[in-house]
Amino acid sequence: MRDMTSGAAWGHLWRYAVPILLGNWLQLAYNAVDSMIAGRFIGKDALAAEGIAGPVMNLVILAVTGLCIGTGVLMSEFFGAGDFGRYRESLGTTVSVGVMASVLMMGAGVLLTPFLLRLMAVPAEILDITTLYLRVIFAGMPFTFLYNALATGLKSAGDSRTPLKFLAFSSLLNAGLDLLFLGVLHFGIVCSAATTVAAEAVSALLVAVYLRRKFPTLFPSRKERRIDRGHLRKILQYGGPTAFQQAVQPIGKLLIQGQVNALGVTTIAAFNAVTRVDEFAFIPEQGIAAAIATYIAQNRGAGKKERIRPGFRAGLRLEVCYWVLIGAAALFLRTPVMCLFVAGEGAQEVVRTGSRYLGLMAFFYLYPAFTNGFQGFYRGMGKMYTTILGTALQISMRTLGTFVMAPRLGIVGIAYACVLGWTVMMLFEAPYYFHTVRKKGLPR
């Protein structure tokens, strides 16, 4: 556990953020390896199918994790105030409500998969394998939610290292099973989805056992796992807007994917590959934002306003340092990285297409470093609707830009559309930050 209400902000933030960053990298590395294994051992159609499935999966998964993010801010406030009873009750209510909701989403996802894929104009030659892949992934939704809820409980108390350990174990298990069943035994794409679900179930079980044995003061009892209406209202107040916000982005990405699908299987495959690289930039930046939100929420709960702005500035510096690292890697390694994703017939064109995109994005990754930092500030301050508006502006402009530029410029137009969205988001977030500082009376 880490109490962030005393001590240097920079030390708290990087010690908290680095395990999250490593965990995100590890998860993304597995996702990339999964795509590489599918592309190399099953073929280009499998790589394209997983790329199409990604936005649909994220639409549901990010909504679930969004609920956890918002609830994590609430639990961080209780932890900072030393109110462990309310902390446990919030975690227990979140788990109970979330598991029930994820079961419902699982059923809806399995039933609606064919409709969603036809709506996205998925090419006929990969429609069947994409449908099978998505249905198996939807079947694992309860495990996905349970792991995220319990991991959020640990992170809100300042422990970001333990979830990393469980994530590392499950990712290695997942990759090993993929290599065995796809690379050695030559099973199909359904097996790739099944190994992902199995790894998620293992992660959920491990974190539950750890929390109960090592930190019983934070683990909700059977009584505290009942749905408490008062806590449910607070959870929905914090987590509901964040869940909606997280779902807004994949809705836009679904529309963007529809534009990509119209450009042919080669571009679909290239876009799947570069999306994996994009995630290496975006998701760790969101991890740093989570550190900012936890730091601010704990200090706000403890009534220490004087620590909020210095902590936020330290978080932005950490975001910029990360951008330098990931931007350089994307710029200088873009072609070798693309070569990892595909081999055989048509591979050279996929590599060329993806490399053009990554050459631009290496510089553009600075924009979400700042926008994510501001998102962390607003979440920590409990201003969830502000984060929704910023995200809605960003994804709306990005989607509009893609519709205009992708048919004319191809995959490069999607990169420019990203910059358009982030620029509009910054024009809203930065001025509103100074308004919030004055209104809340936050000292320098």
Of 366 and 122, which is predicted with more confidence?
A: 366
Q: Please tell me the pTM assigned to this model.
A: 0.70
Residues 6+ apart with CB under 8 A from 324: none
414 burial via Cβ count (<10 Å: 0-12, 13-18, 19+): buried
Angstrom distance (rounded) from CA 285 to CA 323: 8
Of 400 and 99, which is predicted with more confidence?
A: 400
Token pair 């006929």 is found at 124
Distances (CA, A) of 256 to 113, 173, 238, 281, 407: 18, 32, 29, 19, 11
The predicted pLDDT at position 181 comes to 67
Q: Tokens representing 252?
A: 């836009």
Q: What Rg, from alpha-carbon coordinates, does the chain have?
A: 21
Q: Is the dihedral of CA 368, 373, 12, 214 positive or negative?
A: negative
Specify whether the CB–CB gap between 219 and 88 falls below 8 A.
Answer: yes
Helices 44-81 and 127-139, packing angle to 10 deg: 20
The predicted pLDDT at position 377 comes to 93
The predicted pLDDT at position 264 comes to 79
The predicted pLDDT at position 344 comes to 66
Of 235 and 143, which is predicted with more confidence?
A: 143
Q: In the predicted model, is pLDDT for residue 233 greater than 60?
A: yes
Angstrom distance (rounded) from CA 78 to CA 76: 5
Angstrom distance (rounded) from CA 200 to CA 136: 13
> Sorting pLDDT into bands at 50, 70 and 90, what band is 367?
very high
The predicted pLDDT at position 33 comes to 66
The separation between the first and the last C-alpha atoms of the chain, rounded to the nearest angstrom, is 27
Encoded amino acid at 85, one letter: G
Average pLDDT rounded to a whole number, residues 302-316: 87
Q: Tokens representing 148?
A: 């995220």
> Sorting pLDDT into bands at 50, 70 and 90, what band is 72?
confident
The predicted pLDDT at position 1 comes to 60
Q: What percent of the chain has pLDDT over 70?
A: 84
Average pLDDT rounded to a whole number, residues 282-289: 83
Q: In the predicted model, is pLDDT for residue 319 greater than 70?
A: yes
Average the pLDDT over each of 26-35, 324-333, 417-426 and give the range with the smallest value.
26-35
How many other CB atoms are there within 10 angstroms of residue 283's CB atom? 18
- What are the tens digits of pLDDT across the range 173-225? 877 777 776 656 666 666 677 777 888 888 888 888 888 888 888 788 877 77
How many other CB atoms are there within 10 angstroms of residue 118's CB atom? 12
Specify whether the CB–CB gap between 71 and 239 falls below 8 A.
Answer: yes
Helices 161-178 and 9-41, packing angle to 10 deg: 10
The mean pLDDT value of the chain amounts to: 80
Q: What is the DSSP code (8-state) at residue 180?
A: I
> Between vectors from CA 51 to CA 48 and to CA 53, what angle results, nearest 5°?
110
